[in-house]
C-alpha cells in the first residue's frame, strides 16, 4: 500500500512512523509512506495556507488552493485513490472502515487544522471525511496516525501473526476477551485455571463468555449488531443473571 499524508506538521509523525508496526511495515516494503508539508504548495510569499472565514467568526480556515494544488501534484498518476479528510464532522472511524481502507492500493490523508478546511476541498476531491471520535483536537495529525496505524496492521504480512488482527476487539463486533501470560501467579493474582488446563474447547468457551460479558457491561449497543448463536444466547442469559 502507498499512503501519502498532507499536513502542516510533518515532524509530528516522524517518531511514530519510525517505530513499531509502521517501521516494520515500511522495512518489509508493505507500506510506502510519504509526508508532505502543505506550506510547500502555497504560492504566497509568506507561505500562508489559511485565512479568515467569510461571514465572520473566530479562528482561521485552511484555504482551498494549496490543498487542491498539493493533491493534484501528489496523487498524479494514481488510477484509483481514496482521499481522506480528518474532521470532527466525518463518519466515525471503526474496524470495518479500517478493513475497507486496508484493501486499497493508495490512500491520501489530509490533516485538518484550525477552524476547518474550505468546503470546496471536500466538494471537489475528498472521498472520505473521517472522525475518530466525538471530540475536537488541535489538528488532524493524531487522527491521521490513528487511521494509519489501524489500517497498516491489517495489511497481510505486517503482523508477525495475521491471526492477531483477526482476533482483535471489534473484528467481530465484540470487545476482546482478557489476556494473560506468565507468571501464573503474581502478588496473589491468579491466571484463570481454565487457561492452564490445556482443554481447548473449554478455553474457547471461556473466551467467548468473557468477550460477551465485557461487551454487555461496557458497550451493550454493540450486541445489537451481532448475530447471536444459540451458545451466545445461553452465555448472555447467564451473564445477565449474574447482575
Per-residue pLDDT tens digits for 214-243:
999 999 999 998 999 999 999 999 999 997
Place of cell 494514481: 78
Domain tally, the chain: 2
Query: What is the structure's pLDDT at 108?
Result: 98
Q: Considering the domain boundaries, does residue 165 fall inside one? A: no
Q: What is the extent of the structural domain holding 199?
A: 172-242
- Which of 152, 186, 219 marks a domain boundary? 152
Task: Identify the pLDDT of residue 77.
Answer: 92
Instruction: For residue 92, give the C-alpha cell.
Output: 466515525
CATH number where 116 lies: 3.40.1280.10
What are the grid coordinates assigned to 124, written together?
Answer: 471537489
Reported confidence tier of residue 18, pLDDT bands at 50, 70, 90 = very high
- The single residue of 65, 100, 115, 149 carrying the catalytic annotation is 115
Shared-domain flag, residues 147 and 176:
no
Q: According to the model, what pLDDT value does residue 173 have? A: 84
Q: Are residues 112 and 178 in the same domain?
A: no
Q: Are residues 106 and 206 in the same domain?
A: no
R_g (Cα) of the chain, nearest Å: 22
Same domain for 140 and 69: yes
Give domain status of residue 73, yes or no: yes
- One domain for residues 32 and 112: yes
> Is 201 among the domain residues?
yes
Question: pLDDT tens across 170-207, in order?
Answer: 667 899 999 999 999 999 999 999 999 999 999 999 99
In a shared domain, residues 110 and 183: no
Poorest-pLDDT segment among 23-37, 47-61, 168-182, 201-215: 168-182
11 in the same domain as 131 = yes
How confident is the model over 189-198, as pLDDT tens digits?
999 999 999 9
Give the model's pLDDT for residue 191: 94
In the residue annotation, 168 being an active-site residue is answered as yes
Same domain, 120 and 27: yes
Model pLDDT, residue 171: 60
Question: 79 and 136: one domain?
Answer: yes
Q: How confident is the model at residue 166 (pLDDT cuts 50, 70, 90)?
A: low
Residue 160 lies in a domain: no
Per the annotation, the verdict on 242 as an active-site residue is no
Over residues 10-35, mean pLDDT? 97
Predicted pLDDT of residue 114: 86
* In a shared domain, residues 58 and 139: yes
The 3-state secondary structure of the chain, one letter per residue: CEEEEEECCHHHCHHHHCCHHHHHHHHCCCCEEEEEEHHHHCCCCCCCCEECCCCCCCCCEECHHHHHHHHHHHCCCCCCCEEEEEEEEEEECCHHHHHHHHCCCEEEEEECECCCECHHHHHHCCCEEEECCCCCCCECHHHHHHHHHHHHCCCCCCCCCCHHHHCCCCCCCCCCCCCCCCCCEECCEECCHHHHCCCHHHHHHHHHHHHHHHHHHHCHHHHHHCCCCHHHHHHHHHHHHHC
From 100, 104, 149, 168, active-site residue: 168
Please tell me whether residues 118 and 28 are part of one structural domain. yes
Question: Per the domain annotation, does 167 fall within a domain?
Answer: no
Q: Which of 88, 149, 172, 207 is catalytic?
A: 88
Is 166 inside a domain boundary? no
The average pLDDT across 99-107 equals 97
CATH assignment at residue 197: 1.10.1270.20
- Sorting pLDDT into bands at 50, 70 and 90, what band is 169? low
d(CA 168, CA 150): 11
Please compute the mean of the pLDDT values over residues 22-50 and round it to a whole number: 96
Q: Are residues 100 and 22 in the same domain?
A: yes
Amino acid at each position: 500500500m502507498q499512503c501519502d499524508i498532507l499536513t502542516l506538521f510533518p515532524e509530528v509523525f516522524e517518531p511514530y512512523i519510525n517505530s513499531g508496526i509502521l517501521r516494520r511495515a515500511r522495512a518489509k516494503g508493505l507500506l510506502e509512506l510519504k509526508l508532505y508539508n502543505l506550506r510547500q504548495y502555497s504560492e504566497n510569499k509568506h507561505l500562508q495556507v489559511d485565512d479568515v472565514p467569510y461571514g465572520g467568526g473566530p479562528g482561521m480556515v485552511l484555504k482551498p488552493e494549496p490543498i487542491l494544488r498539493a493533491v493534484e501534484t501528489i496523487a498524479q498518476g494514481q488510477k484509483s485513490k481514496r482521499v481522506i479528510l480528518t474532521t470532527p464532522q466525518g463518519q466515525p472511524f471503526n474496524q470495518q472502515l479500517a478493513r475497507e481502507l486496508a484493501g486499497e492500493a493508495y490512500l491520501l490523508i489530509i490533516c485538518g487544522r484550525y477552524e476547518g478546511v474550505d468546503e470546496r476541498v471536500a466538494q471537489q476531491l475528498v472521498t472520505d471525511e473521517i472522525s475518530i471520535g466525538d471530540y475536537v483536537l488541535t489538528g488532524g495529525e493524531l487522527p491521521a496516525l490513528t487511521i494509519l496505524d489501524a489500517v497498516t496492521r491489517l495489511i497481510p504480512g505486517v503482523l508477525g501473526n495475521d491471526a492477531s488482527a483477526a482476533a482483535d476487539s471489534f473484528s467481530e463486533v465484540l470487545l476482546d476477551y482478557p489476556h494473560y501470560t506468565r507468571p501464573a501467579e503474581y502478588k496473589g493474582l491468579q491466571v484463570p485455571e481454565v487457561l492452564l488446563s490445556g482443554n481447548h474447547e473449554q478455553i474457547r468457551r471461556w473466551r467467548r463468555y468473557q468477550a460477551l460479558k465485557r461487551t454487555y457491561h461496557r458497550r451493550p449497543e454493540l450486541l445489537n449488531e451481532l448475530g447471536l448463536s444459540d451458545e451466545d444466547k445461553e452465555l448472555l442469559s447467564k451473564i445477565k443473571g449474574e447482575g
